Structure 1
Amino acid sequence: MLLKEASSRLTKSELAHLGAGEVGYIRKMKSDEVSRCFPEAPEIDPTLDLWALFAADGTPILLTDNRSSTFFKAAEDDLKTVSLH
């Protein structure tokens, strides 16, 4: 509810930049989703479990098959992390 109230007072631009440089999110991905977010990535085995780290604005930062690596990269970039399901 608090986010909804805050978003009604923020412009779209302000909302898009909320958490920029401070927050990152980690998300499990399927191989067929990779090319959309990471167009430079090679073809990936569809049975592989993948994890991605994104900036708060959705900018892709890291793609890996090791979930722990996403947390290490976030810490290295001084980002607080959240997971999306």
Structure 2
Amino acid sequence: MEHEDMDALLSDDQLAGLGGGRLAYVKPMRSEEVNRLFPQAPAMQPGLKLFALLAADGSPIAVTQSRDAALANALENELELASLH
């Protein structure tokens, strides 16, 4: 793969279409960050370690208190999980 290919960016629509719209990832986050992705979420105690399940384009799907619960939610919704580094 050429360096130029690695620098190419995908649009939100292209990201959303990855995996036929069935691709998601789990992102660790702090409770202070939750309202940015989940504006409807209730106020939470600061400093909690949480896990967000996000679609390939970054759209929020769910937030949980454990990584295992986020993974279970992905399986329940028949989503393919991507590993991000």
What's the TM-score once normalised by structure 2's chain length?
0.76
Quick check: which one's helix share is greater?
Answer: 2
How does 1:28-43 map onto structure 2 within 5 Å? 28-43=28-43
List alignment gaps of at least 5 residues for structure 2.
none
Residue aligning to 1:59: 59
Provide closer, same or farther for how the CA distance between residues 49 and 14 of structure 1 changes in structure 2, counting only shifts above 3 A.
closer
What's the TM-score once normalised by structure 1's chain length?
0.76
Residue aligning to 1:15: 14
List per-residue Cα deviations over 1:36-66 (Å, max 9, x = no partner): 1000111111132100001111111111112
Provide closer, same or farther for how the CA distance between residues 18 and 81 of structure 1 changes in structure 2, counting only shifts above 3 A.
same
Q: Aligned-pair RMSD on alpha carbons?
A: 2.7
List per-residue Cα deviations over 1:7-56 (Å, max 9, x = no partner): 85x87365333425221010001112111100011111113210000111
